[in-house]
Chain A
Amino acid sequence: MSEVRIGVYVCHCGKNIGGVINPAKVAEYASTLPNVVVARDYVYMCSSPGQSLIEEDIRKYNLNRVIVAACSPRMHEPTFQGVLKRAGLNPWLLQMVNIREHDTWVHEDTPDKAEEKAKELVAAAVARAAHLYEITTEKFPVIKSAVVIGGGIAGIRASLDLANAGIKVYLIEKKQSIGGKMAQLDKTFPTLDCSQCILTPLMVDVSRHPNIDIYAYSEVVDVSGSAGNFKVKVKLKPTYVDWSKCTGCGTCVEKCPGRAPREFDEGLGVRKAIYFEFAQAVPRRPVIDPKHCLWFTKGICRVCEKVCPVKAIDYGQEERYVELNVGAIIVAIGYELYDLSRLKEYGYGRFKNVISGLQLERLSSADGPTRGKIVRPSDGREPKTVGIVLCAGSRDEKHVRYCCRFGCAAAIKHIYYIKHAIPDAKVLVFYTDVRAFGKGYEEFYQKYRSEDNVFFIRGRPAEIFEDKDGSLIFDVYDSNTGQLINVKADLVVLEGAVVPPKDWEALRRVLKVSCDPGGFALELHPKLRPFETTSDGVFLAGAIQGPKDIPDTVAHAAAAAAAAIGFLAKGYVESVPYLAVVNDEVCSGCGLCVSVCPYDAITIEEREGRRVAKVNSIRCKGCGACAATCPSGAMQQNYFTDTQIISEVVSLAGGAK
């Protein structure tokens, strides 16, 4: 590459550029610059004839650098790089100059100055082009397997799709059974399917699939390695039962004298100290809760050990760790309900008969604390007047700013639960806006607002008080009729706000995933890439990316799986071209670069008695922080070397002409 031979191509971009400046003049100016062999202008450089123009010129004039002055490289850098490749040139000998977004689009009112600026920018690019060099990327093999974190409907769907595509899946679930929130629901809207009836077959499919290994009662504690080659460290929490011996017969649970509030029933029901999460659990294996087990707390009992036919009880079991080597990670850990006791004015947590929507699901469920009878927690009596409060904590600057998305549809479903169980009940739904956006939702809403003794009140209760008999009394203003209504309700259901799970904060740091203002996982692009993250190989499935109902969760999870399959199918990952490169001879091993690298891509090595920085080409994302920090200039960044940048700056400072 001794002689630098540059071709400059100035695009009109229709009227975007051509309507403000005269591209021909810019091209004419460019032809006077050093090393420029040919300079042309054309109306749409990215079009087929435009591209051919460049390709032919490369061959005809033996060009070894190409400058395209047009739109942003984010739009067409790959397009023009394609042209270079077809003409046999390394794609990184292309330099794009942005004279649209950076020039004509922002300087429309001063076209003369805009044209001057275009010339200066092109001149700077010409100066830089002389210092461009060929860049090749490295390919690394990926491991055709994936870890799915979270065993709710999102994790289940993603796992099945991955497994069906021939990819080995490790499904990590922190509870003792997969199923997630969907297992706790009675029915799903708007079809009113029995939730467990549609979920459990999928759970069984997961457990039977030869490509899926379930790690239940386990958590991801660390992730190292890089995209395509992750090392995921999983903690297997002690269950105190040897699950490989256990047959799930349930005798231990039957005989256990210990009691504790049942988490699966959102605190409403009671379970034993040794327990299955729910009857249809997958895996169907029990866990001992040391906080409520008589052996762990008082040193007595051990009945479960005595009655177990296969001697599976193991009080001394300790936590174990496994390291899984996988190519991709899908995060599917779902959501949690906002702590409703923080809505102090509603009395959740203080008044027994103020419950959450999820608690109502448990009351209504056949396997719930009341076997499906909807009753008041305070006295077990059937409620005759029920108030449902929408947006409890949602769309609220003091609590959770965003909409929970499925609260409205859930409330309509709850009308059905209550009226179906207690036909003469009066149901009051306190709403602000009803969001019935999904398929079949409007029909669902129409049906249940047409029921007898169902009243939609457009107003939000402010303070709820308790009456002497445990009923709730409060005023609410109905803005539809302009009336203040004094309500005495036997039961109040809060459709609460939705937040990311508590353990997400620690997990996302391990995965290097950012979060959005609500705390949910930050997607790569909210419209076009909602199931990918800025961390290659890490995908998002379900509500962890933002509140969703089941149809959207499943679609999202399938999309994440498809993206992961695509990522793994290639068989390799490529390093970024803008890699950081160390000049070994100059590097003193000071380690400043290591401290600023956000991807942990740099290590200091001992080499021939010297300390030298080493860049991991697959972890490096080309952010440039190390190159900017390096005090000696030993660390340079491909395509953004000091020489290249300075040559541009010098040209701009010297001015055109």
Chain B
Amino acid sequence: MALEVKLLDSKILREVRELVRPHNPQYCYQCAKCTSACTATKVIPDYKPHLIVALTRLGLIKGLLDSGIIWACTECWKCSEYCPQDVAPVEVVIALKNLSVAMGYKPPEDLKMMAKNVVELGYISPPIEVLSKEFEMYSRSALSLPELVKPYIHEGTAKNLKKLLGGIYE
């Protein structure tokens, strides 16, 4: 089944371009140097940064967002480092991640948890006790480290973050 040309649209590309300024995904000439460098593709073959840029350019991202494959990016930044056209594929993927969240797609559960913790606690996870080699549990104070100062996050800042992050951690 061939793809119908009316599905090709620049709208999503324009939104992505706004988010990735000053990089330009339209400069990409599909050399695939990014995918050759990509950390994720070596273990998750379906994840291919050059393909994500190509699909974004055509506006054909529904499949990408539905599959959630964009969350496979390890953000190692190798693609951007080696890209000869300053496309910065990682920035395109981050833009798609942002757009998907804004559209209502669910990000990985643990990531949602981290966001929730930052807004409520100021850190991506609450302070935990760790197990030592001698099988003892140690907290910060047990290790003679200074206590974390409360409130961990300012009220106003938390409110702003909540707004920016949207309702993802309902």
Cα(A386)–Cα(B27), bound, Å? 30
Contact of A459 among B27, B29, B35 (CB under 8 A): B35
Answer yes or no: B33 CB below 8 A from chain A CBs: yes
**Knowing A432-B29, A484-B41 touch, does A345 contact B35 (C-beta < 8 A)?**
no
Binds A, one of B13-21, B42-50, B161-169: B42-50
* In the complex, A608 has a CB within 8 A of chain B: no
Assess the A460–B86 pair: CB atoms within 8 A: no
Q: Does B34 belong to the interface (CB within 8 Å)?
A: yes
A391 adjacent to chain B (CB < 8 Å): yes
Cβ B33 vs Cβ A462 within 8 A? yes
- Any chain A CB within 8 A of the CB of B85? yes
Which residues of A are found within 8 Å of B36, using beta-carbon distances? 459-463, 474-477, 484
A side interface size, CB within 8 A = 22
A433 within 8 Å of B (CB atoms): yes
Contacts of A462 in B (CB 8 A): 33-34, 36-37, 78-79, 82
Q: Does B84 contact A (CB under 8 A)?
A: yes
- Asked if A86 lies at the interface with its beta carbon under 8 angstroms from chain B, I say no
CB-CB under 8 A from A397, the residues of chain B are 27, 84-86
The CA of A479 and the CA of B37, in the complex, are separated in Å by: 14
A463 touches B82 (CB 8 A): yes
The reply on A398 being an interface residue by CB < 8 A is yes
Closest to B86 in A: A397
- The answer to whether A345 touches B84 (Cβ under 8 A) is no
The CA-CA distance from A399 to B84 in the complex, in Å, is 8
A 341-379 binary contact with B (CB < 8 Å = 1; else 0): 000010000000000000000000000000000000000
Alpha-carbon gap, A391 to B84, bound state (A): 10
Whether A395 sits at the interface, judged by CB under 8 Å, is yes
For B31, give its contact among A398, A460, A475 (CB under 8 Å): A460
Least Cβ–Cβ distance between B121 and chain A, in angstroms: 39
- The yes or no answer to A574 lying at the interface (CB within 8 A) is no
- Check A479–B50 contact: CB distance below 8 A: yes
B residues within 8 A CB of A478?
32
Contact A396 B37 (CB under 8 A): no
Interchain nearest-CB distance for A434 vs B (Å): 13
For B42, the chain A residues whose CB sits under 8 A away are: 475, 484
Contact B41 A432 (CB under 8 A): no
Rounded to whole angstroms, the CA-CA distance of A396 and B27 in the bound complex is 11
Q: Tell me if B139 is interfacial: C-beta within 8 Å of chain A.
A: no
Q: Which of A152-167 contact B (CB under 8 A)?
A: none
Determine if A458 is an interface residue (Cβ-Cβ < 8 Å).
yes
**Do A460 and B41 touch (CB < 8 A)?**
no
Identity of the chain B residue whose Cβ is nearest the Cβ of A486 in the assembled complex? B42
Q: Which of A396, A474, A477, A479 has the most CB of B within 10 A?
A: A477
- Compute how far the CA of A345 lies from the CA of B33 in the bound complex, rounded to whole angstroms: 11
User: Which chain B positions have C-beta within 8 A of A458?
Assistant: 32
- The answer to whether B82 and A391 touch across the interface, beta carbons within 8 angstroms, is no
Which interface class (under 10, 10 to 19, 20 to 34, 35 or more) fits B?
A: 20 to 34
| Interface contact B84-A459, CB-CB below 8 Å | no
- B160 interface residue per 8 A CB criterion: no
> Is B10 an interface position by the 8 A CB rule?
no
Among A345, A399, A433, A479, contact of B32 (Cβ-Cβ < 8 Å):
A479
Contact status B29-A433, CB under 8 Å: yes
Asked if A345 and B82 make an inter-chain contact with CB atoms under 8 angstroms apart, the answer reads: yes
Segment 120-143 of B: residues with Cβ below 8 Å from A: none
For B50, the chain A residues whose CB sits under 8 A away are: 477, 479
Taking A475-B42, A476-B36, A477-B35 as contacts, is the C-beta distance between A432 and B82 under 8 angstroms?
no
Nearest-neighbor residue (CB-CB) of B54 within chain A: A479
* A487 nearest CB across to chain B (Å): 10
Q: Mark A464-481, 1 if CB is under 8 A from B, else 0.
A: 000000000011111100
Chain A residues lying within 8 Å of B38, measured Cβ to Cβ, are 477
Whether A391 lies near B41 (C-beta < 8 A) is no
Q: In the complex, which residues 54-85 of chain B have their Cβ closer than 8 Å to any Cβ of chain A?
A: 78-79, 81-82, 84-85
If the complex has contacts A484-B41, A484-B42, A484-B45, are A477 and B84 also in contact, measured as CB distance less than 8 A? no
Q: A395-B84, A477-B48 are in contact. Are A463 and B35 (CB under 8 A)?
A: no
CA distance A474 to B37 in the complex (A): 9
Task: Tell me the nearest residue of chain A to B49, going by C-beta.
Answer: A477
Tell me the minimal C-beta distance from B31 to chain A in angstroms. 4
A484 and B86 form a contact (CB under 8 A): no
Q: Which residues of chain B are near A460, meaning CB under 8 Å?
A: 31-33, 36, 84
Check B30 for interface membership: any CB of A closer than 8 A.
yes
Q: Which residues of B contact A395 (CB under 8 A)?
A: 29, 84-85
Q: Nearest Cβ in chain B — how far from A341, in angstroms?
A: 16
A461 vs B42: C-alpha distance in the bound complex, in angstroms? Answer: 14
Chain A residue, CB-CB nearest to B78 = A462
**Contacts A462-B37, A484-B41, A484-B42 given; does A477 touch B82 at CB 8 Å:** no
By the criterion CB–CB under 8 Å, are A391 and B45 in contact?
Answer: no
Q: How long is the Cα–Cα vector from A432 to B45 in the complex, in angstroms? A: 21
B residues in contact with A391, CB < 8 Å? 31, 84
Please name all residues of chain A whose beta carbon is closer than 8 Å to the beta carbon of B45 when the two chains form the complex.
Answer: 484
Instruction: Please indicate the chain B residues that have their CB under 8 angstroms from the CB of A461 in the complex.
Output: 33, 36
Give chain B nearest CB distance to A594 CB in angstroms: 43
Minimum CB–CB distance from B54 to chain A (whole Å) comes to 9
CA distance A462 to B29 in the complex (A): 15
Q: Which of B27, B37, B79 has the most CB of A within 10 A?
A: B37
Chain B residue, CB-CB nearest to A480: B32
**Complex Cα distance A476/B30, Å?**
13
In the complex, what's the smallest C-beta–C-beta distance from A404 to chain B, in angstroms? 13
Residues 565-593 of A, flagged 1 when their CB comes within 8 A of B and 0 if not, give 00000000000000000000000000000
Q: B35 and A398: CB pair below 8 A?
A: no
The smallest beta-carbon distance between B102 and chain A, in angstroms, is 30
Task: Say how far B39's CB is from chain A's closest CB, in angstroms.
Answer: 10
Tell me the chain B residues, 82-113 only, with Cβ under 8 Å from chain A. 82, 84-86
Could you tell me the distance in whole angstroms from the C-beta of A440 to the nearest C-beta in chain B? 26
Q: From A431, which residue of chain B is reached at the shortest CB distance?
A: B31
Chain A residue numbers with a CB within 8 Å of B41 are 477, 484
Are B32 and A477 in contact, CB atoms less than 8 angstroms apart?
Answer: yes
Closest-CB distance, B124 to chain A (whole angstroms): 30
Bound complex: CA A463 to CA B34 (Å): 10
4 closest pairs, A vs B, by CB?
A: A462-B37, A396-B84, A477-B35, A460-B33
21 A-B residue pairings within 8 Å (CB atoms): A345-B81, A391-B31, A391-B84, A396-B85, A397-B84, A398-B86, A459-B32, A460-B32, A460-B33, A460-B36, A460-B84, A461-B36, A462-B33, A476-B32, A477-B32, A477-B36, A477-B38, A477-B41, A479-B35, A484-B42, A484-B45
A: which residues have CB within 8 A of B?
A: 345, 391, 395-399, 432-433, 458-463, 474-479, 484
Q: In the complex, given contacts A459-B33, A462-B34, A476-B36, what are 4 additional A-B residue pairs having Cβ atoms less than 8 angstroms apart?
A: A391-B31, A397-B85, A432-B31, A461-B36
